């Protein structure tokens, strides 16, 4: 069965395969992406999760940190892009790297204790991805979604409404509704804590559990 938004996913996959070599630039990683990853690591540590998947793992920095810093039983990194996964595989042999879309994950029902995703949610078919996160989590399992970028202004959203599954950054309220619709209990939502001089990056973390 084809994943939802398949054509759009193909475009996103091709873009990230081309962008992969630039993605690990140290300043980009340190100032843009790392603060959200630090918060996800703290959430996973507090939850005690042992079977963890990082969805849209990109070049695998967060998944490799989860393996190195938390030493859980199993860590998976899932992404659609061959270029990003190639770099991820070179980074760590501790993580199991899998190719697939967030909307159709390669896990059995209830197989995981935690599902996390950083800086990629705006690319997803969000209701489908959250339903899939819910399916693969065990009861009590943790979901952590770190989103990046300000919500799309209403005009831009209306203009892109006719595209097939266009990239869309939801507002905090929209994310809370998406979580509830997927069956998650919201436990926390806040701006990602980051150094003052990087506050122009508007990222948000939303945490929930599967009842
Ligand atoms: C900005 S990178 C973020 C990578 C990583 N999560 C991080 O925080 O550094 C976006 C990644 O999302 C992946 N991606 C986009 N849409 C996806 C989808 N529907 N399913 C799986 N991966 C997806 C892309 O291939 C790309 O590797």
**Residue 78 located in a structural domain:** yes
Contact 82, 51 (CB under 8 A): no
pLDDT for residue 68: 98
Is 22 part of any domain?
yes
Q: Measured from the CB, is residue 101 less than 6 Å from ligand 1?
A: yes
Q: Which atom of ligand 1 is nearest to the CA of 61?
A: 9
Asked, for residue 99, whether it belongs to a domain, the answer is yes
Q: Please give the number of the atom of ligand 1 that sits closest to the Cα of 37.
A: 8
pLDDT(162) > 50: no
| 58 CA distance to ligand 1 middle (Å) | 5
Q: Which atom of ligand 1 is nearest to the CA of 9?
A: 19
d(CA 165, CA 153): 17
Return the CATH number at 185: 3.40.50.150
Residue 107 within a domain: yes
Task: Decide if 109 is inside a domain.
Answer: yes
- Alpha helices (H) along the chain: 6-23, 26-27, 34-47, 61-70, 82-91, 126-136, 154-159, 172-182
Q: Report phi then psi at 195, rounded to 5.
A: -55, 145
* pLDDT greater than 70 at residue 27: no
Query: Is residue 1 included in any domain, yes or no?
Result: no
90-108 residue pLDDT tens: 999 999 999 999 999 999 9
In a domain, 161, yes or no: yes
Domain ranges, residue 39: 6-210
Nearest by Cα to 139 from 117, 116, 110, 115 = 110
User: For the chain, what is the domain count?
Assistant: 1
């Amino acid at each position: 069965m084809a994943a939802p938004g398949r054509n759009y996913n193909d475009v996103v996959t091709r873009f990230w395969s081309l962008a992969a070599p630039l993605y690990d630039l140290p300043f980009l990683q340190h100032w843009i992406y790392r603060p959200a990853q630090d918060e996800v690591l703290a959430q996973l540590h507090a939850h005690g999760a042992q079977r963890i998947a990082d969805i849209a793992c990109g070049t695998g920095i967060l998944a490799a940190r989860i393996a190195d810093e938390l030493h859980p039983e199993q860590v998976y990194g899932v992404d659609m892009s061959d270029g990003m996964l190639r770099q991820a595989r070179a980074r760590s042999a501790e993580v199991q790297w899998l190719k697939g879309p967030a909307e159709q994950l390669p896990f059995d029902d209830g197989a995981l204790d935690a599902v996390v995703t950083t800086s990629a949610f705006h690319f997803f078919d969000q209701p489908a991805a959250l339903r899939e996160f819910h399916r693969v989590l065990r009861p009590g399992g943790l979901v952590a979604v770190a989103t990046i970028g300000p919500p799309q202004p209403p005009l831009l959203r209306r203009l892109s409404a006719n595209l097939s599954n266009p990239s869309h950054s939801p507002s905090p309220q929209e994310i809370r509704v998406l979580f509830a619709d997927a069956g998650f209990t919201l436990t926390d939502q806040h701006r990602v804590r980051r150094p003052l001089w990087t506050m122009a990056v508007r990222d948000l973390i939303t945490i929930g559990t599967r009842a």
